[in-house]
Structure 1
Amino acid sequence: MITDLLRLTQWLSPAFPLSGYAYSHGLEAAMAEGRVRDAETCRAWTETVLRRGTGALDAWAIRRVLAGDDPEEVADVIRARAGCAERWTETRDMGAAFEAAATAMGEPERGTHPLPVALALRARGMEAETVAALYLQSLAAQIVSAATRFLPLGQTEAQAVLRDLHPVIAEIAALDALEPPVGGALLAELDAMAHETLQPRIFRT
């Protein structure tokens, strides 16, 4: 239904009060080191996170919860796979903010979960690939938006980066695996760890 799609896009809008603007997913550390410095390196870093890091894991989590798996067990996998304290803090706090905002709008309470699990619990009945794709688009936009506040990366260039990631997002959203993805985005996880002691800093993560 079109109303389901409207609800989903509202939840994933930058205007929804998740404080997503405060998180860089560890990108700030990579930018501070100079490894991410322009549109191309930003696209490559973000694609790695989508394909082998948080993006792939969160898309799996969304699909499993929508398929009826126990959300607590899925949340445990996300917690166990968080590479450092900041990574877990980011998904936990954004999930709590999502739940608080949705409940305040009159939605039934669902409990506090990591963001992808919280989203999937509210999106039950919606088409899984669509939910995963729009979530991944939101994650990519959050990362690229962080880059625009640190780098000489204009809004038009940033939008071109997001457009170039559409095929990647579509590919990952279409995956329907029973088991969580193997491997990981090692360098991005190391960036997230390095960010925990980075000073000065703009972002929480």
Structure 2
Amino acid sequence: MTERALLTLTQWLSPAFPLGGFAYSHGLELAVSEGQVRDAEALEDWLGAILTRGGGRVDAWLLSMVLQGADADEMAALAEALAGSKERWAETFEQGTAFARTVAEMGGPRRPPRALPVAVGEAARELDLAPKTVISLYLHSFTSNLVSAGVRFIPLGQAAGQRVLARLHEVIDTVAEEALGATLKGVSTGAFAADLNAARHEDMDVRIFKT
């Protein structure tokens, strides 16, 4: 691992990197609106399920396979197939497109639009970093964005949101470790409530978030 490579990855996954991640809630907005997520404890449970059985796990496995040499075109097609709704696909594809565009504008190679974990995996292949480091920091960024959405919309205090994120570190570490053995046969998603909320979100009368 090199300090410069770690700084590059940290920049890519920072809220300051122009992906527009603040506009996506991964279906959390509907869960809050309907009272499924009311407080910090419920937010932690919700995000834990997404990380271990839903979109977080899928992203971790896609990212791992790309980092370890899987064909990016095949992984991009798989990402689309695994998206449980139009909004979920828009969320990952729009952010991945913004990621690839920004990296190219910074002097990196131009790459086609991809789902976010595939785009990050392609770019991170060039960094001298262990796959688990990349996956862990990706999941931390993914979770941080949803915690921020919860802080704004539930609402929660900033300290409460940070406690939720800290308590999810162990989950993030476990999911990243398991993702190192990712295979095409093993990739799956099972966070049905989150997937249904993402599908129903577009029908909300008033929406703050895109998803």
Normalised TM-score (structure 1): 0.97
Q: What does residue 106 of structure 2 align with?
A: 105
User: Is this contact kept in 1: 2:27–2:195, CA < 8 A?
Assistant: yes
User: Is this contact kept in 1: 2:100–2:111, CA < 8 A?
Assistant: yes
1:185 maps to 2:191: yes
User: Is this contact kept in 1: 2:58–2:189, CA < 8 A?
Assistant: no
What percentage of residue pairs aligned between the two structures are identical?
Answer: 48
1:31-65 CA deviation, whole Å, 9 max, x = no partner? 00011011000111111110001111111111111
1:96 maps to 2:97: yes
Shift of 1:5: 0.5
SS in 1 for 2:155: coil
Give 1:152's match in structure 2, choosing from 150, 155, 161: 155
Shift of 1:128: 0.6
Paired with 1:127 and 1:24, the residues of 2 have a C-alpha distance of 29
One-letter amino acid matched to 2:50: V
Paired with 1:68 and 1:113, the residues of 2 have a C-alpha distance of 16
Q: What does residue 55 of structure 1 align with?
A: 56
Q: What does residue 17 of structure 2 align with?
A: 16
User: Is this contact kept in 1: 2:82–2:189, CA < 8 A?
Assistant: no
Q: What does residue 170 of structure 1 align with?
A: 173
Deviating beyond 2 angstroms after TM superposition, the runs of 4 or more aligned structure 1 residues are: 179-183
One-letter amino acid matched to 1:173: A
Q: Structure 1: which 5+ runs fail to align?
A: none
Q: What does residue 114 of structure 1 align with?
A: 115
One-letter amino acid matched to 2:40: A
Paired with 1:27 and 1:140, the residues of 2 have a C-alpha distance of 12
1:5-28 CA deviation, whole Å, 9 max, x = no partner? 000010000010000000000000
1:26-45 equivalence runs, <5 A: 26-45=27-46
Q: What does residue 138 of structure 1 align with?
A: 141
Shift of 1:101: 1.0
1:112-151 CA deviation, whole Å, 9 max, x = no partner? 1100000011100421101100000011011111111111
1:201 maps to 2:207: yes
User: Is this contact kept in 1: 2:100–2:112, CA < 8 A?
Assistant: yes
Normalised TM-score (structure 2): 0.95
Paired with 1:22 and 1:148, the residues of 2 have a C-alpha distance of 13
Paired with 2:61 and 2:15, the residues of 1 have a C-alpha distance of 22
Over the aligned positions, Cα root-mean-square deviation in angstroms equals: 0.9
